[in-house]
Amino acid sequence: EVTQAQYEAVMTGNSNSLSATPSEFTGNDRPVEKVSWDDVQIFLTRLNAAEQAAGRLPAGWSYVLPTESEWEYACRAGTTTAYSWGNSIAASNANYNNNIGQTRDVGQYAANPWGFFDMHGNVWEWTADWYQAAYPSGAVTDPTGPASGSVRAVRGGSWSATGASLRSARRSGSAPGTRSSNLG
């Protein structure tokens, strides 16, 4: 998750009239939320420009949102269970089910086997893909979503979602202009 401090550092002084501090639940180390998919595209454009100018991003590389399949691959981290840690969920695994009533600092729960934090819970995470209700039939490797649509795919569940919504395979969608305290 992108923290509020990271988002603010990139978005301060933007010419798009976007707030550099949009989150409802404030704290430098909390995930940025209340950012739309469209806002994220502006953030990524500014981040890529800054990192390239500073020489920290190799030529031809760029930061992007993952596709749904890339997100799930990273979330699962080689596991085949419902969650990256196993088949059941408890309050000690993730921030969900309104058990805290808001987001909390990134990295407060154990990382998945590949070292990624907060893939389950805290805030739903935007992906690059348009949402489609069902996957195409047959086996596919690294699929991408449809070329167009009305909602973007979000993954991971949130602080207010049920435990089942945090499963590695759980999918949902949101309109690209949506700004919500459970979406980042």
Q: What is the pLDDT of residue 35?
A: 98
pTM: 0.95
| Per-residue model confidence (pLDDT) at position 134 | 83
Q: Using one digit for the tens of pLDDT, what is the confidence trace for 60-72?
A: 999 999 999 999 9
The pLDDT, as a whole number, for residue 144 is 83
* Distance, CA of 167 to chain centre: 14
Q: How many CB atoms lie within 10 A of CB 98?
A: 13
Note the pLDDT of residue 39: 98
Question: Average pLDDT of 174-178?
Answer: 98
Say what the pLDDT of residue 7 is.
98
Across the chain, mean pLDDT equals 96
Residues 10-57 pLDDT 10s: 999 999 999 999 999 999 999 999 999 999 999 999 999 999 999 999
Closest listed residue to residue 89, CA positions, set 81, 101, 80, 79: 81
Instruction: State residue 3's pLDDT score.
Output: 98
pLDDT tens-digit readout, 95-153: 999 999 999 999 999 999 999 999 999 999 999 999 998 877 888 888 888 999 999 99
